[in-house]
Amino acid sequence: PNHPEIVFESLEPRMFSFNSPFGACPSCHGLGEVFEISEDLMIPDKTKSIMNSALAVYGKMDLSWRIQQLAIVGKKHGFDVFTPIEKFTKNQLNVLLFGDKDPIEGNWSNGASMWMRKGWEGVVPQTMRLYHQTESDWRKASIEKFMRSSQCSVCKGKKLKPVPLAVKIIGKSIIDITDLSIEQAVTFFMNLDSQLNEKELIIAKAILKEINERLGFLKNVGIGYLTLSRAAKTLSGGEAQRIRLATQIGSNLMGVLYILDEPSIGLHQRDNFKLINTLHRLRDIGNTVIVVEHDEETIRSADYIVDMGPGAGVHGGQIVAEGKLDQIMENRKSITGKYLSGKLSIKVPKKRRIPKDFIIIRGAKENNLKEIDVHLPIGVLCGITGVSGSGKSTLMNQTLIPSLKTEFDIRVDKIGKLSSIEIPEIIKSVIVIDQSPIGRTPRSNPATYTKVFDEIRHLFASTIEAKTRGYKAGRFSFNVKGGRCEACRGDGVLQIEMNFLPDVYVQCEECKGKRYNKETLSVFYKGKNIAEVLDMTVEEATSKFENIPRIYRKLKTLMDVGLGYIKLGQSSTTLSGGESQRVKITRELSKNKSGHVVYLLDEPTTGLHFDDTKRLIKVLNNLVEKGNTVYIIEHNLDVIKNCDYLIDLGPEGGDAGGQIMAIGTPEKISEENKSYTGEFLRKLFKNSEMKTKVA
């Protein structure tokens, strides 16, 4: 009745799928959004000229065919490649970006004539053409850095054609229903049968049973706050894994071996028990479940435990203990057992710091935040807690951090909706220490990222052999010509582009992966050449350079964060998210300047053992002792109880969250009856004899 102009013969299931051409919006092909080149991202600095690399998509410019072509285009339209972009007229900038269809002629630098019969294509159309033509994931990713998405103007982001959108059940289209959270969808479908007539019930009965069961599985693995339409690329690793787990439960298969890698990632303690019950259910119907996990409750709930160690890296790889929980706790060699038995523990601190000041956010209302006012303390270790989906990341990653970056003239795509923010003058910088790679190519490694490699190169340049040959520190860099292997340009590997598969890397035949030429490798320091030093573990290098303070200090910091087992030259692409995060922390700790920096870490204990968590807490406290502020989004109770201050969000996830449940010290939070975090802290403090004083 609301769509009298829409006429169609019969409905088919494929019409309701945005992955099918029968249902997908023809404009955005079922994506709900369109991707376009952003002028701001393509030309980030308009004070630069074309010759000075103003066009970021082209990278570094030289006297290539491209710059000559642009010079000819400029000559016709009254600009040159040395003019800052900000001085271009509107028409000149339009020609540069979107082209000129009229023929253009000129001369190449060698005097040969240049004839552009179809005119100048324009940087934007040219880039989009290359994006759609290339089959290389690497090339697509490099272009996507200069693109932004916007809502499809035809379907208004709903992904489907008008016909399927016109079909509604109890006033809701299929898109309206998929926009519900899993919790809301459970309620909607549970109540649906009471709103159907007898005939409709007969038709829907079997379908509703299947829908309700599957929604129940999703709810029971702790992701009830997610919407059914949530894009897969926006899911965390833990969320994606739990969705796959729910799918397996729904299949009711028997005799299957399931292997899960840290399924508890991102789960609040309240939801963790639901996950454990789900794993037990998989076991009880006749399957075997192997879980790689650091979560204490999950370990305690296991029927059989295999404890690996005794250390990490070269110090690991052995089975230290195996058996039931009691056997692990009684095993003297097992560090895990000592933590489970209470012989080792992460103590509650004896005193807590008092905030020096506050960042005040008013009216935060991005996503599910309910126009909240928040006082974020400065000069302390502050935990941001709450059940999964309660708004922690929205408050910190989408609201606070972009606001702070804008204050320090750092460009951001978007700031979460808020009324106002007050930032004390004492804050001088903001740094997000996340689990993204420290580099995206094999060229990046812990030594270069922490700058310790600069000191090592200077040390090699100071040897008698290097001085005799006239080698400077640059000779020992694999990033510049001179000392590096030119066959692989210092990568140690060669990249092979696979048309229909991801690019692969193979070891360089010339240098055998050592990155340097023979002359450079013939210079030694205490019996080791530069390639052999890069092949050392941090622990080995710490011992080797213990008498060189400027090198030893940086290496010791890597040791302090529990990374003694990684190699100095280990490719960044082989580091886990947790390892990358700790390398970043090391670089911050190594800086001589102290104080007034705001750091944000999002679940830094992911992938960490009890002992590693203990080290991490010490390192974070060191950052605070230097006069900085550290905010941590965390579910780990050992970290939470060690915070000076907590901001707890809730009460639930999704639309039922986004409110401040409690603020204050962990002891104060434990007294809040409405807080789920407080409930678990209450149990923890009840078992702890340590009482904390406020400094």
Q: Which of 673, 671, 675 is closest to 660 using CA atoms?
A: 675
Identify the weakest region by mean pLDDT among 14-18, 317-321, 443-447, 573-577: 573-577
Instruction: Please give the share of the chain, as a percent, with pLDDT higher than 90.
Output: 64
Distance between CA atoms of 311 and 214, rounded to whole angstroms?
Answer: 41
pLDDT number for residue 17: 95
Joined tokens for residue 643: 């915070």
Residue 114 DSSP SS3: strand
CB 600 within 8 A of CB 355: no
Distance between CA atoms of 206 and 451, rounded to whole angstroms?
Answer: 63
Domain's final residue, options 151, 185, 212: 151
Q: Is residue 667 part of a domain?
A: yes
Vertex 618, ends 614 and 620: CA angle to 5°?
115
Residue 692 scores a pLDDT above 70? no
With a CB cutoff of 8 Å and minimum separation 6, the contacts of 524 are 463, 465
pLDDT number for residue 593: 66
Q: Is residue 560 part of a domain?
A: yes
pLDDT number for residue 294: 95
Vertex 618, ends 590 and 268: CA angle to 5°?
120
pLDDT number for residue 690: 47
* Cα four-point dihedral sign 19, 24, 28, 32: negative
CB 497 within 8 A of CB 136: yes
Dihedral angle computed from the Cα positions of residues 213, 215, 220 and 225, in that order, rounded to the nearest 10 degrees: -170
Q: Which of 230, 236, 262, 263 is closest to 249 using CA atoms?
A: 263
Regarding whether 141 and 42 lie in a shared domain, the answer is yes
Regarding whether 145 and 50 lie in a shared domain, the answer is yes
Q: Is residue 528 part of a domain?
A: yes
> Which long-range contacts (C-beta less than 8 Å, at least 24 apart) are formed by 70-77?
70/96, 71/106, 72/104, 72/105, 72/106, 72/107, 72/114, 72/116, 73/100, 73/104, 73/120, 74/50, 75/106, 76/100, 76/104
With a CB cutoff of 8 Å and minimum separation 6, the contacts of 21 are none
Number of domains in the chain: 4
Residue 674 scores a pLDDT above 60? yes
Q: How confident is the model at residue 689 (pLDDT cuts 50, 70, 90)?
A: low
Between 392 and 271, the more confident residue is 392
pLDDT number for residue 315: 86
Q: How confident is the model at residue 691 (pLDDT cuts 50, 70, 90)?
A: very low
Q: Which of 111, 59, 51 is closest to 85 using CA atoms?
A: 51
Q: Is residue 388 part of a domain?
A: yes
Distances (CA, A) of 326 to 294, 305, 311: 17, 10, 22
Distance between CA atoms of 680 and 6, rounded to whole angstroms?
Answer: 55
Q: At what angle do helices 198-220 and 237-251 cross, to 10 degrees?
A: 130
Residue 692: what residue type? Answer: T
CB 371 within 8 A of CB 660: no
Q: Which of 577, 565, 562 is closest to 614 using CA atoms?
A: 562
Residue 694 scores a pLDDT above 60? no
Residue 146 scores a pLDDT above 70? yes
Distance between CA atoms of 66 and 89, rounded to whole angstroms?
Answer: 22
Distance of CA 222 to the CA centre of its chain: 21
Q: Is residue 195 part of a domain?
A: no
- DSSP characters over 411-428: --S-----SEEE--TT--
Q: Is residue 68 part of a domain?
A: yes
Kindly report the pTM of this predicted structure: 0.78
**Residue 455 DSSP one-character state:** H
Regarding whether 627 and 550 lie in a shared domain, the answer is no
Residue 154 scores a pLDDT above 90? yes
CB 598 within 8 A of CB 622: no
Residue whose tokens read 């009890």: 610
Q: How confident is the model at residue 695 (pLDDT cuts 50, 70, 90)?
A: very low
Regarding whether 533 and 468 lie in a shared domain, the answer is yes
Regarding whether 410 and 309 lie in a shared domain, the answer is no
Residue 693 scores a pLDDT above 80? no
With a CB cutoff of 8 Å and minimum separation 6, the contacts of 434 are 581, 584, 601, 602
* Cα four-point dihedral sign 625, 630, 636, 642: positive
Q: How confident is the model at residue 457 (pLDDT cuts 50, 70, 90)?
A: very high
Phi–psi pair at 117, nearest 5 degrees: -60, -40
Across residues 289-318, what is the average pLDDT?
94
Residue 49 DSSP SS3: strand
Across residues 127-144, what is the average pLDDT?
86
Instruction: Identify whether 310 is preceded by a cis peptide bond (ω within 30 of 0).
Output: yes
Across residues 132-152, what is the average pLDDT?
86
Domain's final residue, options 151, 174, 205: 151
Q: What is the largest CA-CA distance in the chain?
A: 96
Q: How confident is the model at residue 232 (pLDDT cuts 50, 70, 90)?
A: confident
Q: Using one digit for the tens of pLDDT, what is the confidence trace for 12-67?
A: 999 999 999 999 999 999 999 888 888 888 998 899 999 988 898 887 776 678 88
Residue 259 scores a pLDDT above 70? yes
Helices (H) and strands (E) in the chain, counts: 28, 21
Distance between CA atoms of 314 and 316, rounded to whole angstroms?
Answer: 6
Across residues 388-411, what is the average pLDDT?
93
Regarding whether 431 and 517 lie in a shared domain, the answer is no
Regarding whether 500 and 464 lie in a shared domain, the answer is yes
Report the CATH number at residue 144.
1.10.8.280
Regarding whether 373 and 321 lie in a shared domain, the answer is no
pLDDT number for residue 594: 67
Regarding whether 457 and 427 lie in a shared domain, the answer is no
With a CB cutoff of 8 Å and minimum separation 6, the contacts of 318 are 308, 309, 310
Regarding whether 660 and 561 lie in a shared domain, the answer is no
Distance between CA atoms of 551 and 452, rounded to whole angstroms?
Answer: 6
How many other CB atoms are there within 10 angstroms of residue 507's CB atom? 14
pLDDT number for residue 5: 62
- Give the domain extent around 77: 35-151
Q: Is residue 169 part of a domain?
A: no
Q: Which of 405, 418, 423 is closest to 366 using CA atoms?
A: 418
Q: How confident is the model at residue 352 (pLDDT cuts 50, 70, 90)?
A: very high
* Cα four-point dihedral sign 666, 672, 673, 676: negative
Dihedral angle computed from the Cα positions of residues 275, 281, 286 and 292, in that order, rounded to the nearest 10 degrees: 10
pLDDT number for residue 375: 98
Domain's final residue, options 541, 574, 607: 574
Report the CATH number at residue 570.
1.20.1580.10
Distance between CA atoms of 656 and 186, rounded to whole angstroms?
Answer: 14
Residue 561 scores a pLDDT above 90? no
Indicate the average pLDDT of the chain: 90
CB 351 within 8 A of CB 229: no
Regarding whether 49 and 97 lie in a shared domain, the answer is yes
Q: Is residue 127 part of a domain?
A: yes
Beta pairing partners, 181: 227
Report the CATH number at residue 427.
3.40.50.300
Distance between CA atoms of 560 and 553, rounded to whole angstroms?
Answer: 10
Joined tokens for residue 192: 């649906």
Regarding whether 99 and 53 lie in a shared domain, the answer is yes
pLDDT number for residue 199: 92
Residue 3 scores a pLDDT above 70? no
Beta pairing partners, 646: 383, 664
Q: How confident is the model at residue 654 (pLDDT cuts 50, 70, 90)?
A: confident
